[in-house]
Structure 1
Amino acid sequence: MTRTLSQEQRDFVDAIGDFCRREVPATRTASHDPEIYAKMADLGWLGISVPGEYGGAGRGMTDLVLFLEETGYWQAPIGGFATSVIAAAAYERFGSEAQKRQVLGDFLRGKVLSISMSEPGAGSDVGALTCRADKHAEGWVVNGQKTWCSNAHIADHILLVARTSTEGGKHEGLTMFSVPADVDGLAIRGIETMGGKEVNDLYFTDCVLPADAVVGVEGDAWPQLMAGLNIERMILAANMLGTGRRAFDDAVRYVREREQFGRPVGTFQALRHRIADHATELECTSLLVHDVARRIDERPDALFPREASMAKLKATEFAKAMALDGMQLMGGYGYATEYGMERLLRATVVSTVYGGTSEIQRDIIGKTYGL
């Protein structure tokens, strides 16, 4: 893809590729491999966006996007990274010094972080959540259910968003809490999905948290969440850009090699034109995602609701469409686990749902035009 990278960035991308070719198995069954994740921690890659004062590399959004794109392309089994870096950014912005030292330090050492917002009755409408955290002599007592919590089953820390007040509007009275995953009163149960057990139900029953478990300001979780939208959407966009690239390359490789009627199937106009369309979409997606990353690096404290939503929308929809058509281009082999396209389809089909559905992204984009 067309990119303007420094020599250091090109070397970084090459190093990721070299590592993945050596360490990532051709076929895998788990979305998260603790050994590979630990090796990346030792290389300092997990802390690419964590400030240097906490032991990270302190690099910007562009470098984070490069890492996520390349690991997505090589299908590195580090499923815990995305939620970890999203949660880490919230701790970095709003956590106490003690929380930053502990949680960011654990993240850099290869521990997984998770973030819990959704509930059975509160998905896209986060303001409708009802999981309660009430003040208690020892701090806080949490009761309620959370759902669709990615990586909670492998996490050491969970960043919980709970309701601490019913006064004011529905987006008021929400508070972030730092929750140890092994705390008494929390039950974590995996949800079976087509992608395996990657998401979970969380059940809080008289779960006691200390007073200093609050992350940021009590009652201010909503603006704190809004401050992290750039990073969440760009993480998902970058990962799906890499996954979509992989689906494209695998499909092209197959139609070049597969022969029917005495010639490669890719030389038939029906398939050649589809590859041309996908190549154009991939180029557009790459340019958009990397351009938004550059803008964020230029203005790291600014919100880019339109641009970040566009990047997430475009990258996830492209990746899903590419993997689906990749399966069609490969015929029966696209359905076979030996070739991996079916795994790419499973990885991409949910990407237009999590982290804000495509419909929500379109709604946000429309609102930025005053609609």
Structure 2
Amino acid sequence: MGSRLTEEQSGFVAAIRDFAKRECGSREQRDALTSGGREAHNPELYGRLAGLGWLGVCLPEAYGGAGGGLADACLFLEETSYGMVPAGGFITTVIAAKAYEKFGTGEQRRTVLSGVVRGEVLSIAMSEPGAGSDVGALRCRARREADGTWVVDGQKTWISNAHCAEHILLVARTGEDKHGGLTMFHLPARTPGVEIQRIDTMGGREVNDVFLSGVRLPADAVVGHVDDGWRQLMAGLNHERLFLASNMLGLARRAFDDTVGYVREREQFGRPVGSFQALRHRIADLATEIECARLLVREVALDCDARPDKLFPREASMAKLKATETAKRAALEGMQMMGGYGYTTEFDMERHLRAAVVSTVYGGTSEIQRDVIGKSYGL
């Protein structure tokens, strides 16, 4: 199928790039929008993206979306990441939105998907203190009352964007079977009994602890079917990994371009440092790796759009593994080639590195991706 863009997609990419350059093209603009790099999401700017109709890029037209495919959402994630647009809420939003689109009731889809198009943020709560890569070990429990309502108790952790979300897609235990006893729930973030505490990390303030104490949910809060959450999660993990890969592809490109711009200008021994073979070859290797990642990510996205009922676990894991590891390498190499300047907060490279390193952990670690890929070959 190739990876060439349609005329419409090319125009979409050009519009995003123009927006990014205009709204956050300078370091001063980005600092003002992100509290000096501590916040990944700016609600006001996000609202302007909604006004342009971009947040519903891959959602059905019936809910106000543009009716595009996964490839279009991937382009949006890649270009906003490259342009350093503080729209961090979008990635969890689009991941959760696709789950609502596939498994939600008519009312849930109308409420949630229409809200996404207007600029509402979604979060998804799976991980717990004792359940990270092993999602089936989660203990947060939802018990059904005699009247059909649900009462939820437990703790979630590392929950991205819960602090700015209107709705949380919650995964809780409803049965004793490790994988067959999980259920998805629609949880408005401001429901009584929900407490959200932000976690400070070296990448800023993006993740949260979510405490649930006696949280009461109506019978129709179930997303999909009771005890079917594991299968539903597996159906969505490939989209999640593809979206994360696209986000990191954009970061890898940005780190690379920042590095090239620096080594062209920085002089030592009477010549630009990029003209030395040692650095020139490193640039060549990075450029090749990024292009490989780009082709892989876009090809998987196109395949997913062409065959929406087919899961692509091997390919999605390959895309996530390749793009995140490449982004981490691009940022590390960039810091090395920039010398001490790459380590200073005056330049963006240290931000690129902080964002890239954690990408090989969330959404399934690189080790988990390799395990998925290996098992797909019967190993």
**2:168 aligned to 158, 163, 187, which one?**
158
What letter is aligned with 2:194?
Answer: L
**1:144 matched residue in structure 2:** 154
The percentage of counterpart residues that share the same residue type is 66
SS in 2 for 1:162: strand
What letter is aligned with 2:45?
Answer: I
CA distance in 2, matches of 1:72, 1:11: 17
SS in 1 for 2:166: strand
Deviations 1:162-218 (A, max 9, x none): 00111xx31011000000101111111111111122111111111111111110101
**1:35 matched residue in structure 2:** 44
Alignment of 1:220-369 (within 5 A): 220-369=228-377
CA distance in 2, matches of 1:297, 1:155: 27
What letter is aligned with 2:113?
Answer: L
**2:142 matched residue in structure 1:** 133
SS in 1 for 2:158: strand
- 2:106 is the alignment partner of 1:64: no
- Tell me by how many angstroms 1:234 deviates: 0.7
- Tell me by how many angstroms 1:316 deviates: 0.1
**2:8 matched residue in structure 1:** 8
CA distance in 2, matches of 1:347, 1:202: 22
CA distance in 2, matches of 1:179, 1:249: 41
- Tell me by how many angstroms 1:230 deviates: 2.0
Residue-pair matches, total: 368
- Tell me by how many angstroms 1:336 deviates: 1.6
CA distance in 2, matches of 1:59, 1:105: 15
TM score, norm. by length of structure 2: 0.96
- 2:212 is the alignment partner of 1:204: yes
Q: Is the CA contact 1:138–1:209 (under 8 Å) kept in the aligned structure 2? A: no
Q: Is the CA contact 2:3–2:299 (under 8 Å) kept in the aligned structure 1? A: no
SS in 2 for 1:228: helix
Q: Any gaps of 5 or more consecutive residues in structure 2?
A: 32-36
CA distance in 1, matches of 2:19, 2:190: 32
What letter is aligned with 1:16?
Answer: I
Q: Is the CA contact 1:138–1:208 (under 8 Å) kept in the aligned structure 2? A: no
CA distance in 1, matches of 2:10, 2:155: 45
- 2:91 is the alignment partner of 1:82: yes
SS in 1 for 2:159: strand
CA distance in 2, matches of 1:344, 1:195: 9
What letter is aligned with 1:132?
Answer: R
SS in 2 for 1:148: coil
- Tell me by how many angstroms 1:65 deviates: 1.3
CA distance in 1, matches of 2:345, 2:373: 37
- Tell me by how many angstroms 1:61 deviates: 1.6
**2:122 matched residue in structure 1:** 113
**1:219 matched residue in structure 2:** 227
Deviations 1:221-275 (A, max 9, x none): 0011111122101100000000000000000010000001100000111111110
SS in 2 for 1:222: helix
What letter is aligned with 1:351?
Answer: S
- Tell me by how many angstroms 1:333 deviates: 1.0
CA distance in 2, matches of 1:219, 1:161: 10
CA distance in 2, matches of 1:80, 1:97: 24
- Tell me by how many angstroms 1:3 deviates: 4.4
Q: Is the CA contact 1:152–1:158 (under 8 Å) kept in the aligned structure 2? A: yes
CA distance in 2, matches of 1:351, 1:99: 30
CA distance in 1, matches of 2:156, 2:238: 24
CA distance in 2, matches of 1:12, 1:205: 44
- Tell me by how many angstroms 1:138 deviates: 6.0
**RMSD value over aligned CA atoms?**
1.0
SS in 1 for 2:198: strand
SS in 2 for 1:184: coil
**2:17 matched residue in structure 1:** 17
CA distance in 1, matches of 2:75, 2:221: 33
**2:34 matched residue in structure 1:** none
**1:195 matched residue in structure 2:** 203
What letter is aligned with 1:68?
Answer: L
